[in-house]
Amino acid sequence: MHTEGVEERTYEDGLPQWFVRSECRGCGLKVGVDLPAGQMGGLIDRLTWTDEALHRLDRMPPYLAPLVREEVEQDVRARGERVVAYDTLLRPRTGERIVWDPEAERRLDNVPAPVRAMARVELERTAAERGSARITVSLMEEVKAKYFGMGAQKA
């Protein structure tokens, strides 16, 4: 069986699930199996991106997507994983997931689209380097001041 794709789902119990689609290349039989997220049970035969992660990657600027893809795949292989999930893209290479304050997320929406993905990556990298798992407005102002000299100090 060859893995054709993986979908991320959440069911009534709130636990994340993967729906793994596979196909037999010999006879053409197609099957789908629900699994708890992270437990591939030998059903995934190669490094595979979930549909949701691919959608996120496809929305990145064309000059950034190949760089992100390479870095994420290296990280996933180094961890012995086979699935790049949506959360994997959000996970800094330290292995933790970065959480955004709601106000910081709203401010990121105001960043021009061509640089929004780069800003997100830089903010998350900066937070991870500092050992923080949260993006705040004050961190955004600090990074803005560092790169553009325009950080407005707010009380």
What's the longest Cα–Cα distance across the chain?
67
CA distances from 81 to 41, 46, 71, 84, 88 (A): 12, 10, 14, 8, 10
95-155 folds as Helicase, Ruva Protein; domain 3 (1.10.8)
pLDDT digit string (tens) for 104-137? 989 988 888 777 877 887 888 888 778 888 899 9
What is the domain partition of the chain in residue ranges? 95-155
Q: What does pTM read for this prediction?
A: 0.55
Query: Helix H segments across the chain?
Result: 51-58, 65-78, 86-90, 102-109, 113-129, 137-148
Residue 136's pLDDT is: 92
What confidence tier does 155 reach under pLDDT thresholds 50, 70, 90? very low
Average pLDDT, the chain: 80
Of residues 78 and 95, more confidence is placed in 78
Number of H helices, E strands in the chain: 6, 7
d(CA 141, CA 45): 44
Is 72 in a helix, a strand, or coil?
Answer: helix
Residue 41, pLDDT score: 64
**Residue 76: predicted pLDDT:** 85
What pLDDT shows up at residue 96?
63
The token pair at 153 is 């100090």
Query: Residue 131: what residue type?
Result: G
**In the prediction, which pLDDT does 116 show?**
80
